Structure 1
Amino acid sequence: MIIGDKYKQNPFEKGTLFLFCVRRSDRIKGLLWMGDGFLLLYKRIEAGSLSWPRTTEETADLTEEQFDYLMFGLNPLDPKIKDVTPQKPF
């Protein structure tokens, strides 16, 4: 199977979710083995985009918390604090 060969992971491990970013970074696909077949998931982000690894070397296991960060458009593997400049009141 492609996942096993390319990513050196077992796609038939129950409860393991594989996520893939399609060409556009506002869409994500998921593949989950349910024991008797695969469940295919698809999500389109209405606003913003996902921070996503671009090479197989950048693939990583995510915790549930890191997955939540990813769904909010944050990069869970490279967290950064950004400076914010407050706007002046009108």
Structure 2
Amino acid sequence: MKMFVGVPEVYLHHAFVDFRKSINGLAALVESELELSAMSGAVFVFCNKGRDKLKILYWDRTGFALWYKRLEKDKFKWPTKLHGPTLSLSEQQLHWLLSGFDVIGHRPLSLQSAVL
């Protein structure tokens, strides 16, 4: 099942985030650091320093939603060389990221780590 189908825009927050932050803290980062409206309907993706957790914040017309994913045996392929505080992703790139692929080079997680 594909999540986040038909989202207008996807923004990846470049810097690692303290994952004690929840909806209010992440929305404040969107507004202050990215200078974007957190209530625009866009999807905002954040990663922790260990690169094993993602938080995705979005506004769905009735309130904020926060989606969380944790990898058990590998790390997300988080882009490290960006020329700004954010990277705009396509919907397909978001799905690649959530599936363990490098959104820039399209390299998958190692086969060994994908086996349960």
Same-fold status (TM-score > 0.5): yes
1:44 aligns with 2:70: yes
Task: Identify unmatched segments of 5+ residues in structure 1.
Answer: 82-90
Describe how 1:5-84 pairs up with structure 2 within 5 A.
5-14=32-41, 16-54=42-80, 57=84, 59-77=86-104, 79=105
Does the 8 Å CA contact 2:79/2:102 hold for their aligned counterparts? no
| Total equivalences in the alignment | 79
Extract structure 1 runs of 4+ deviating beyond 4 A: none
Task: Identify unmatched segments of 5+ residues in structure 2.
Answer: 1-27, 108-116
Identity across the alignment (%) = 28
Secondary structure, aligned partner of 2:33 = helix
Q: Distance in 2 between matches of 1:10 and 1:80?
A: 29
Amino acid corresponding to residue 30 of structure 2 in structure 1:
I
Amino acid corresponding to residue 12 of structure 1 in structure 2:
M
Amino acid corresponding to residue 48 of structure 2 in structure 1:
V
TM-score (norm 1): 0.71
1:7-46 CA-to-partner distances (Å, cap 9, x unmatched) read 12221112x1111001221100111111121101111112
Q: Which has the higher contact order (CA 8 A, sep 6+)?
A: 2
For the aligned residue pairs, the C-alpha RMSD in angstroms reads: 2.2
TM-score (norm 2): 0.58
How has the CA–CA distance of structure 1 residues 3 and 56 changed in structure 2, closer, same or farther, with 3 Å as cutoff? farther
